[in-house]
A and B are shown apart, each in its own frame.
Chain A
Amino acid sequence: AQSVTQPDIHITVSEGASLELRCNYSYGATPYLFWYVQSPGQGLQLLLKYFSGDTLVQGIKGFEAEFKRSQSSFNLRKPSVHWSDAAEYFCAVGAPSGDYKLSFGAGTTVTVRA
C-alpha cells in the first residue's frame, strides 16, 4: 500500500526567508507525486506534479520540488516566502497506472511571520 509522510506538522518562517517542506513516500515503484496547497476554508490547489523526467519540477507561485528516488522524497521549496503563502500544504501520491485515487500526507501548516 502506498503511504505519504510529512514529518513537519507546523513550520513558522519569516517573510522573505526560504521554505522547505518535507515529503517521504512509501510505494513499490515510483508513484506519481503531487503537492497541493489549501488556504483556510478553501479547496485544494495543485502546486506542482511529478510523473517522470526531470527530477526538479517547477510549479505555480514560485514553488519547486525535487524528486529523489534514493531517498523516496519529494520535498517542496520556495526561495523567498510571501505572507500569502501561509496555508496548509499536502503532499500526495498516486499509483502510476489505473488506480487514480490519491493518498495524502497529514499536511504541514505554514505560518509566515512579518
Chain B
Amino acid sequence: AAGVIQSPRHLIKEKRETATLKCYPIPRHDTVYWYQQGPGQDPQFLISFYEKMQSDKGSIPDRFSAQQFSDYHSELNMSSLELGDSALYFCASRTGTGLSGANVLTFGAGSRLTVL
C-alpha cells in the first residue's frame, strides 16, 4: 500500500540557510500534518492543512512557513536556520477532518535536518 513519502530523508544545512521539506500524502488523503521531533524529544505538532487551507497551527516558529498544493502535497519552508532546528520532521496524512475509526494519522519516515 502507498505510504506517506517525505523528501529529502536527510538534509544538512548551515546556520542562517534555508531548507525545504516535502511531503506527499497517501493518495486521496486531503489533510496533512507536520510534526517536529527534536533529539530525545516527543513529536511536537507544527501545522496542518485541509484541502489546501491551513487548518491548525501549533508551535511553529515565524521563520517557518508551509503550504499545501493542489495535488495535496505539502512543503515546509524553514529560513534563517538555527542549530535548534536540527530535528526529525514528520509529515502525516489522513482523510477529512474530525476523527473516526478510519481516519487515523499515517506518518511518513521523516526528514532529518541537521543544522551545522
Partner of A101, one of B33, B42, B106, B108: B33
Q: A43-B90, A101-B48, A106-B42 are in contact. Are A51 and B109 (CB under 8 A)?
A: no
Chain B interface bracket (under 10, 10 to 19, 20 to 34, 35 or more): 20 to 34
Other-chain residue from A42, A43, A96, A101 in contact with B45 (beta carbon distance below 8 A): A101
B98 at interface by CB-CB < 8 Å: yes
In the assembly, what is the distance between CA of A106 and CA of B43, in Å?
Answer: 8
Q: Convert B36-70 into 0s and 1s, putting 1 for each residue whose CB lies closer than 8 angstroms to a CB of A.
A: 00000111110010000000101000000000000
Give the residues in chain A near B97, CB-CB below 8 Å.
98, 100
The number of chain A residues with a CB under 8 A from chain B is 26
In contact, B98 and A97 (Cβ under 8 angstroms): yes
B109 in contact with A43 (CB, 8 Å)? yes
A90 contact set on B, CB distance < 8 A: 42-43
Q: How far is the CB of B10 from chain A (nearest CB, A)?
A: 10
The answer to whether A100 touches B107 (Cβ under 8 A) is no
- Choice from B41, B43, B56 contacting A44 with Cβ under 8 Å: B43
| CB–CB A100/B106 < 8 A | no
Measured between alpha carbons, how far is A66 from B89 in the docked complex, in Å? 30
Taking the nearest CB of chain B, how far is it from the CB of A76, in angstroms? 15
Residue B99 at the chain A interface, CB threshold 8 Å: yes
* A10-50 to B contact mask, C-beta < 8 Å, 1/0: 00000000000000000000001010100001111110010
Please tell me which one of the listed residues A43, A44, A46, A97 contacts residue B99 in the complex, with CB atoms under 8 A apart.
Answer: A97
Q: Which residues of A contact B58 (CB under 8 A)?
A: 101
Q: Is the CB of B99 within 8 A of A100?
A: yes
* CB atoms of A98 and B107 under 8 A apart: no
Residue A99 lies at the interface, judged by CB distance under 8 Å to chain B: yes
Residue A102 at the chain B interface, CB threshold 8 Å:
yes
Q: Does A74 sit within 8 A of B, measured CB to CB?
A: no
Query: Is B73 close to A, CB under 8 A?
Result: no
B31 within 8 A of A: yes
Name B residues whose Cβ lies closer than 8 Å to a Cβ of A. 31, 33, 41-45, 48, 56, 58, 90, 92, 94, 97-101, 103-110, 112
Ordered by A's residue number, 6 sampled pairs between the chains whose C-beta atoms are within 8 Å are A43-B110, A90-B43, A101-B56, A101-B58, A102-B43, A104-B42
